[in-house]
Amino acid sequence: MTLATFLVDDYTLRTVALGAVALGFVSGALGTFAVLRRQALLGDAISHAALPGVVFAYVLLGTKGSLALMVGAAVAGFLGTLLVSAIVRSTRVKEDAALGLVLSVFFGIGLVLLTWVQRRPDASQAGLDRFLFGQAATVLREDVVTIAVVGAVALVVVALAWKHLKVLSFDPEFGASLGLRMRATEILLTSLLVVAIVIGLQMVGAVLMSAMIVAPAAAARQWTNRLGAMTIVAAGLGAAAGVTGAVASSQVERLPTGPAIVLVATFLVVVSFLLAPRGLVVRAMRARRARSRLGTHVVLADLAALERAHGGPGRAHPAATVGLLEETDATAALVALERDGLVARDLEGNWALTDRGRVEARRR
């Protein structure tokens, strides 16, 4: 049975894979803004802070329907972000501490509520703790529809507010000076981020959800310098990680879905870090080329200086003499210059500038 027919035939896998694709797409796209605005860890705080909201929504509404719990999670997550910014603005506590504080205290309160609910006589609360670690296998078709619809709405909002979000990401002061309402845009963006996180909680859980925000965007950043392209690439990478992780976890026994998705996303990040246009390999190659070009510059200049000092134009010198000036072996650079027709070797193996080389040495 090929993977394609497997995807079509296996109901559970299809549901999980579709959910993972939708989730990866939305969180990748919105993660772009979080990463650019240095708020990568806001996602971590929101996803942990959502827990008390989930339990509270269950207690208040008496339902485990995913939409109700999502609303609870969203409210708590949003409150958490408000609290973070209030702490940063009104105290001397810095953002990192404020994030960690809100994250852990909200999570602790969620845990208190959860254990309190669990010790009540009726057992209907079973399954609430899937919001901690995520359980993709329990995702139903209705959940996938909810994820897709809510995510689509979030993406439409991104498209409508595109210009504002762009200015906010790169130069909020400039935006404010244009009369754009940056504070409102910031709240909008945070709300969208909350939405993206909340729809993923039951699938990958609070701990790993932050990776779904950070990883696709961090990978996409390496491929492009344009916001639009980065958003699309991030969404695509997120979706790819989602479906690959979901399929892998269905094929390999006892490979949990959430961690599988996160590891695929991390793999994409590593590949991008190495191979993308901004990546480490390209950077190393460029540095090498620049270094060798610098080397030939120096050798060409030395040869010109030797010529002026000893014997005038056309006088050839041994490679060792040229190298003496820089205390290195100049042969490699001389060969490279010969390839460009800037120097020539005479019969004894001594080097002299060609006419073009002399012009070039003066020009440089």
Partner 1 sequence: MTQGQLEIQAIAVVTAVACSLVGTFLVLRRQSLLSDAIGHSVLVGIAVAFLVTGTTTSPLLLIGAALTGVVTVALVQLVTSTRLVREDAAIGLVFPALFSIGVIIVSRYADGVHLDTDAVLLGELAFAPFDRLEAWGWDFGPASLLLMGAVLVVDAIVVAVLWKELKLSTFDPALALALGFTPVVLDYVLMSLVSVTAVGAFNAVGSILVVALMIAPPAAAYLLTDGLGRLVVFAGAIAAGSALGGYWLAVALDASIAGCIAACCGIAFGLAWLLAPGRGLVAAIRRRARQRLEFAQTMLAIHLANHEGLPEAAVENRVGHLGEHLRWDSDFAGRVVRHAERRGLVVSSADVLSLTDLGRTVAQEAVTR
Q: Of the ranges 17-25, 87-95, 329-337, 354-362, which one interacts with partner 1 (CB under 8 A)? A: 87-95
Q: Of the ranges 186-194, 272-280, 288-296, 328-336, which one interacts with partner 1 (CB under 8 A)? A: 272-280
Does 109 interact with partner 1 (rule: CB under 8 A)? Answer: yes
d(CA 363, CA 150): 63
d(CA 63, CA 60): 8
Q: Of the ranges 93-101, 182-190, 299-307, 335-343, which one interacts with partner 1 (CB under 8 A)? A: 93-101
The residues, ordered by sequence, that sit 6+ positions from 3 with a Cβ below 8 Å of its Cβ are 247
Does 89 interact with partner 1 (rule: CB under 8 A)? Answer: no
- In our burial notation (b when 16+ CB lie closer than 10 A, e otherwise), range 305-321 reads ebbeeeeeeebbbebeb
d(CA 241, CA 277): 21
Contact 131, 110 (CB under 8 A): no
Q: Residues 31-70 vs partner 1: string with x where CB under 8 A?
A: ----x--xxxx-xx---x----------------------
Residue 104, both tokens: 């852990």
Does 138 interact with partner 1 (rule: CB under 8 A)? Answer: no
Least Cβ distance, residue 20 to partner 1 (angstroms): 14
The residues, ordered by sequence, that sit 6+ positions from 65 with a Cβ below 8 Å of its Cβ are none
Q: Of the ranges 139-147, 215-223, 232-240, 288-296, which one interacts with partner 1 (CB under 8 A)? A: 215-223
User: Which lies closer to partner 1 via its Cβ, residue 224 or residue 328?
Assistant: 224
With tokens 């130069």, the residue in question is 171
Least Cβ distance, residue 223 to partner 1 (angstroms): 11
Does 286 interact with partner 1 (rule: CB under 8 A)? Answer: no
DSSP three-state, residue 354: coil
d(CA 285, CA 70): 48
Contact 98, 88 (CB under 8 A): yes
User: In the set 133, 191, 338, 350, which binds partner 1 (CB under 8 A)?
Assistant: 133
User: In the set 125, 191, 266, 350, which binds partner 1 (CB under 8 A)?
Assistant: 266
User: In the set 18, 30, 182, 215, which binds partner 1 (CB under 8 A)?
Assistant: 215
Number of H helices, E strands in the chain: 16, 2
* Interface with partner 1 (CB under 8 A): 35, 38-41, 43-44, 48, 87, 90-94, 96-101, 103-116, 119, 129, 132-133, 207-208, 210-211, 213-215, 217-218, 221-222, 254-256, 258-260, 262-263, 266, 269, 273, 278-280
